[in-house]
Amino acid sequence: MEDTTRLNESKLGTKKYWDDFYSVERVNFKENPEDTGECWFEDNGAEEGMVNFIVENLNEFNNKESSVIDLGTGNGHLLFELYENDFEANMLGVDYSAESVQFATDIAKAKEYPVKFTQADIFDSNWTPGEFDIVADKGTLDAIALSGLTVGENNQSVVEVYHSVIEKILKKNGTFLITSCNFTEEELIRIITKGQLAVSETIEYPVFEFGGVKGSTICSVAFVKK
């Protein structure tokens, strides 16, 4: 059977692309502090969907002792939205692009939001940020899948080992929430549930129909660590 979780390589899978991208966004922000950059999947309502899901369904983590990490945080917008929605957990955004981390830090400083950012490649085995109650991914696995990179002695694809990165940094009974535009719900579930993670819920988005085939342009799925 064809492995539909293998995507063709693209420049969106390179660190250089994201460094250049966020370097431009930083300049724009310096010139216009209202311009906090592109919000991935905004048109599809995905960020709103993810924030609402966390605020409404993961309320047990809405306190200063809990923690959220956003993988491939970009401009940090998802975490800023959570903060603006009175979510009180400690928030950390991680990205391998130093430009992204600087950009998101600049925005947090300007807005005086207590959100922290750090630079790391999430596949680096030396990266041990601790364990979090909520791990979020908005469009990051999509970008990772376009890198064509492999890790470890067995040359496993980064998509294949992605679930083990989540398992390493998610607390038991914690939630991993991911939104993707490159993978279907079924593919995401196949990629993520290879070890300790089990599906808990999916977020519904408007469905389009083309040529008699029904589909959604994006999907968000929540998983719980057993």
Least distance in angstroms from the C-beta of 218 to ligand SAM? 11
Asked if 73 interacts with ligand SAM (CB under 6 A), we say yes
Return d(Cα 201, Cα 178) in angstroms, integer.
11
CA angle 42, 19, 127 (to 5 degrees): 95
Contact criterion met (CB below 8 Å) for 83 and 91: yes
Single out the residue of 104, 107, 143, 166 in contact with ligand SAM (rule: CB under 6 A).
143
Least distance in angstroms from the C-beta of 194 to ligand SAM? 19
Give the residue closest to ligand SAM by C-beta: 72
Return d(Cα 161, Cα 211) in angstroms, integer.
35
Task: Give the tokens for residue 160.
Answer: 């294949």
Single out the residue of 40, 132, 176, 183 in contact with ligand SAM (rule: CB under 6 A).
40
Place of tokens 């496993």: 156
Which 3 state secondary structure label does DSSP give 96?
coil
Asked if 175 interacts with ligand SAM (CB under 6 A), we say no
Least distance in angstroms from the C-beta of 175 to ligand SAM? 17
Q: Phi and psi dihedrals of 115, rounded to 5? A: -110, 135
Single out the residue of 49, 58, 91, 138 in contact with ligand SAM (rule: CB under 6 A).
138
Q: Phi and psi dihedrals of 147, rounded to 5? A: -80, -30
Binding mask of the shown chain, residues 102 to 121, with x at each position contacting ligand SAM by CB under 6 A: -------------------x
Residues that bind ligand SAM (CB under 6 A): 18, 40, 72-75, 77, 95-97, 100, 121-123, 138-140, 142-144
